[in-house]
Amino acid sequence: MAAIRPRERSAIIQSLRAGVTPRIGLEHIQVGRVNEVKALIEDLDRICEGGSAFRLIIGDFGAGKSFFLQLIRYIALEKGMVAVNADLSPDRRLQASNGQARNLYQELTRNIATRAHPEGNAMIPIIEKFITVQRSEAEKQGKDVEVLIKEKLSSLSELVGGYDFAKVIAAYWRGYNEDNEELKAAAVRYLRGEYSTRTEARNDLDVRTIIDDSSVYDHLKLLARFVVQAGYKGLIVNLDEMVNLYKISNQRSRSANYEQILRILNDCLQGSAEYLGFLLGGTPEFLIDPRKGLYSYEALHSRLAENSFAQIANVVDYTSPVLMLENLHPEELYVLLCNIRNVFAGGDKEKYLLPDEALTAFLQHCSNRIGDAYFRTPRNTIKAFTDLLAILAQNPDLKWQTLIEGINVANESDPSLVTVKNDASSDKDDSNDEDALTAFTL
374, 391: one domain: yes
Amino acid (1-letter code) at residue 209: T
205, 351: one domain: no
pLDDT band at 405 (very low <50, low <70, confident <90, very high): confident
In a domain, 426, yes or no: no
Give the span between the Cα atoms of 160 and 219, in whole angstroms.
Answer: 8
Give the span between the Cα atoms of 340 and 28, in whole angstroms.
Answer: 8
Point out the domain boundary residue: 282, 304, 324: 324
Give the span between the Cα atoms of 361 and 367, in whole angstroms.
Answer: 10
pLDDT band at 373 (very low <50, low <70, confident <90, very high): low
Number of domains in the chain: 3
CATH code of the domain covering residue 289: 3.40.50
In a domain, 21, yes or no: no
Compute the average pLDDT of residues 26-36. Answer: 83
In a domain, 219, yes or no: no
Residue 254 reports pLDDT greater than 60: yes
Q: Which residues contact 267 (CB under 8 A, 6 or more apart)?
A: 52, 221, 273
100, 246: one domain: yes
Compute the average pLDDT of residues 264-284. Answer: 93
383, 243: one domain: no
Give the span between the Cα atoms of 342 and 347, in whole angstroms.
Answer: 5
Percent of the chain surpassing pLDDT 70: 89
Q: What is the pLDDT of residue 253?
A: 92
Helix (H, G, I), strand (E, B) or coil at 417: helix
Helix (H, G, I), strand (E, B) or coil at 276: strand
Give the span between the Cα atoms of 349 and 339, in whole angstroms.
Answer: 11
In a domain, 6, yes or no: no
Asked if residue 70 lies in contact with residue 26, where contact means CB atoms within 8 angstroms, the answer is yes
Compute the average pLDDT of residues 329-337. Answer: 85
348, 376: one domain: yes
105, 130: one domain: no
- What 8-state DSSP symbol labels residue 92? B
Domain that residue 201 falls in: 123-214
265, 298: one domain: yes
In a domain, 227, yes or no: no
In a domain, 168, yes or no: yes
Residue 204 CA, chain-centre distance (Å), reads 32
Q: Which residues contact 134 (CB under 8 A, 6 or more apart)?
A: 145, 148, 149, 152, 173
> Bridge-partner residues for 323, per DSSP?
57
In a domain, 240, yes or no: yes
Point out the domain boundary residue: 301, 324, 347: 324
Query: What burial class does residue 225 get, using C-beta atoms within 10 Å of its C-beta: 0-12 exposed, 13-18 middle, 19+ buried?
Result: buried
Helix (H, G, I), strand (E, B) or coil at 205: helix
Give the span between the Cα atoms of 295 and 264, in whole angstroms.
Answer: 16
Instruction: Say how many Å lie between the first and final Cα of the chain, rounded.
Output: 49
246, 107: one domain: yes
103, 245: one domain: yes
Residue 77 reports pLDDT greater than 90: yes
- Element holding 218 (H helix, E strand): helix 216-229
In a domain, 221, yes or no: no
356, 320: one domain: no
Residue 142 reports pLDDT greater than 90: no
Point out the domain boundary residue: 299, 324, 349: 324
pLDDT band at 263 (very low <50, low <70, confident <90, very high): very high
282, 206: one domain: no
**Rounded (to 5) percent helix, strand, coil in the chain:** 55, 10, 35
96, 238: one domain: yes
> Bridge-partner residues for 89, per DSSP?
92
> Bridge-partner residues for 84, per DSSP?
237
What strands lie across the sheet with 235-240, from one edge to the other? 82-87, 235-240, 276-282, 52-58, 322-324
| pLDDT 10s digits, 180-227 | 999 999 999 999 999 999 999 999 999 999 999 999 999 999 999 999
Give the span between the Cα atoms of 335 and 329, in whole angstroms.
Answer: 10
Amino acid (1-letter code) at residue 35: N
